[in-house]
Amino acid sequence: MSLTLSKDAKTAPQAGRRLLHGIGGGAPDPGLRTHMERWGEVRPPRHLIDELEASGLVGHGGAWFPVATKWKAVASAGRRRPVVVANGAEGEPASKKDALLLSHAPHLVLDGLMLAGSALGAQQAIVYVPATHMPVVEAAVAERRAHHLDRIPIEIAEAADTFISGQESAVVNALGGRRGAIPGFVGLTSIRERGVGGRPTLVQNVETLAHVALIARFGATWFRHVGTADTPGTMLLTINGPDGPLITEAVLGSSLLTATGLRPEAVARAQGVLLGGYGGGWVTPAAFSELTVSEKTARRAGATLGAGVVALLPPDICPLAEMADVVRYMEGQGAGQCGPCVHGLADLADAMERLAYGGASGPRVERLLEICGLVEGRGACRHPDGVARFVRTGLHVFSDEVASHQRRGSCAKSHAARVLPVANATARRRLVAKA
């Protein structure tokens, strides 16, 4: 069946709803016709990397690294033609924004991947996604192939359902068929120089690529219309609150409380707010209400926005039990190849469980902080550092609960249902192990 695509240029959205522009609450329509009607054909500027530099776009997979700097590093890495990878692994259980983009706007991601491929003269382009998203991506790639949209064929590779499968060197290892999706002992620079198949490799989060697709259409000046001079544009947030996980697009530099749409009363009642997911950090509700959507201010508050996870901890939940379960989950997700993951995270999980579920006179805070200090900065990747930040900040924000557990032992709330999605992930892991 042939289909005529609208190739007219479209008007750029002027408000802060960009990636989510045209995406409503109904059933997703990820087809090429809808995509073209919404965004029109891409006619990229001649010097896309310069445009990206002018836009100030940074990566949205958690590290906030400037996109143009990375592309330049790959472009100048050597004479072998590079590989470009769209990272849709989204291993963080509390994040759903990449899943939403892949299910509702796969062509925006694929446009971004193809733009990266063209700008860098790549010979291979790969979309790396969990099995659940493969059918929608396969359908999108087939449509593009039928319309001869892309200069190089797009391959699709399955990301393992683990927390670290999306870490950059784990992606490269998985795609190279080496040792599965576990991080390797190589720095970021060397992936850019020698990644998949020994070629210079660009790994870019799927949201980042979707922003690239819009900057290529509407330009850096348009991108900077919202946000601040330092942090232009928007970012997707996954809000784990009373209404379940919701995805929203937030203008950088705006009030975080307003951007999340969380009711101030719900925030005031909460015991704490987790920012940046399980490798992120806890802040008090009062601190959260003062924050802007900015990695800098989140860092100043001891946390990170990371890939945009926000999770509210309601009053009827034991924060220490939540933390203990997450730390145990994260311990099981380490690749088991460095000391901090093999020993340190296991010790941390044991200590957190004794504090949360044990009797009075559980481990002292000093002991927990000591273990955090022992794992930080010692792994081949930043997995242990994230867990240490999660624990450190939690012990501080929930200091009253810690003191109460140390005086009286485990509380009744520690057996309430969990709000942070760990049980599912653990159950999923058990099923995989059984199969």
Ligand X SMILES: Cc1cc2nc3c(=O)[nH]c(=O)nc-3n(C[C@H](O)[C@H](O)[C@H](O)COP(=O)(O)O)c2cc1C
**Where do we find the tokens 């382009």?**
125
The torsion region of residue 57 among left (phi > 0), alpha (psi -120 to 50) and beta comes to beta
Of 55, 124, 173, 208, which lies in the binding site for ligand X, with binding defined by CB under 6 A? 208
Does 338 interact with ligand SF4 (rule: CB under 6 A)? yes
Of 32, 36, 120, 164, which lies in the binding site for ligand X, with binding defined by CB under 6 A? 164
β-sheet bridge partners, residue 249: 236
Contact 33, 5 (CB under 8 A): yes
Of 49, 89, 101, 321, which lies in the binding site for ligand X, with binding defined by CB under 6 A? 89
For 186, what's the count of Cα atoms within 13 Å in the CB-facing half-sphere? 21
Does 248 interact with ligand X (rule: CB under 6 A)? no
Does 334 interact with ligand SF4 (rule: CB under 6 A)? yes
- The H-or-E segment that residue 84 falls in is strand 83-87
Contact 334, 383 (CB under 8 A): yes
β-sheet bridge partners, residue 85: 126, 203
The nearest distance, CB 382 to ligand SF4, in angstroms, is 7
Toward ligand SF4, which CB reaches closer, 183 or 421?
Answer: 183
Q: Could you tell which of ligand X, ligand SF4, none binds residue 168, using a CB distance below 5 to 8 A set by kind?
A: ligand X
Contact 83, 128 (CB under 8 A): no
- The H-or-E segment that residue 311 falls in is strand 309-313
Does 166 interact with ligand SF4 (rule: CB under 6 A)? no
Q: Could you tell which of ligand X, ligand SF4, none binds residue 380, using a CB distance below 5 to 8 A set by kind?
A: ligand SF4
Toward ligand SF4, which CB reaches closer, 311 or 341?
Answer: 341
Six token digits for residue 364: 């002292």
Of 69, 258, 337, 404, which lies in the binding site for ligand SF4, with binding defined by CB under 6 A? 337
Does 116 interact with ligand SF4 (rule: CB under 6 A)? no
The nearest distance, CB 71 to ligand X, in angstroms, is 10
**Where do we find the tokens 């990272």?**
87
Q: Which residues contact 98 (CB under 8 A, 6 or more apart)?
A: 88, 89, 90, 205, 206, 207, 307
By beta carbon distance, the residue nearest ligand SF4 is 379
Does 90 interact with ligand X (rule: CB under 6 A)? yes
Toward ligand SF4, which CB reaches closer, 334 or 363?
Answer: 334
Contact pattern from residue 41 through residue 70 relative to ligand X, giving x for each residue in contact according to CB under 6 A and a dash for the rest: ------------------xxxxx-x-----
- Looking at residue 340, the DSSP 8-state letter turns out to be I
Of 203, 270, 318, 321, which lies in the binding site for ligand X, with binding defined by CB under 6 A? 203
The nearest distance, CB 246 to ligand SF4, in angstroms, is 29
- The CB-based long-range contact list for 292-297 (8 Å cut-off, 24+ gap) reads 292/253, 292/254, 292/255, 292/256, 293/231, 293/235, 293/237, 293/250, 293/251, 293/252, 293/253, 293/254, 293/255, 293/256, 293/259, 294/228, 294/230, 294/231, 294/252, 294/253, 295/64, 295/231, 296/230, 296/231
Does 240 interact with ligand X (rule: CB under 6 A)? no
Considering CB under 6 A, how many residues would be counted as binding ligand X?
21
Does 383 interact with ligand X (rule: CB under 6 A)? yes
The nearest distance, CB 183 to ligand SF4, in angstroms, is 4
Toward ligand X, which CB reaches closer, 56 or 62?
Answer: 62
Of 384, 386, 394, 421, which lies in the binding site for ligand SF4, with binding defined by CB under 6 A? 384
CA dihedral 67, 309, 161, 34 (to 10 degrees): -70
Region near ligand SF4 per CB under 6 A, out of 191-199, 218-226, 253-261, 336-344: 336-344
Contact pattern from residue 340 through residue 359 relative to ligand SF4, giving x for each residue in contact according to CB under 6 A and a dash for the rest: xx------------------
Please work out, in degrees rounded to the nearest 5, the angle formed at the alpha carbon of residue 202 by the alpha carbons of 378 and 43: 150
The rounded distance, in Å, linking the Cα atoms of 274 and 317 is 14
Q: Could you tell which of ligand SF4, ligand X, none binds residue 63, using a CB distance below 5 to 8 A set by kind?
A: ligand X
Of 57, 215, 380, 391, which lies in the binding site for ligand SF4, with binding defined by CB under 6 A? 380
Q: Which residues contact 425 (CB under 8 A, 6 or more apart)?
A: 93, 163, 329
- Looking at residue 279, the DSSP 8-state letter turns out to be G
The nearest distance, CB 342 to ligand SF4, in angstroms, is 7
**Where do we find the tokens 């955090």?**
372
Binding site for ligand X (CB under 6 A): 59-63, 65, 87, 89-91, 164, 166-168, 203-205, 208, 381-383
Binding residues for ligand SF4, per CB under 6 A? 164, 182-183, 334-338, 340-341, 379-381, 383-384
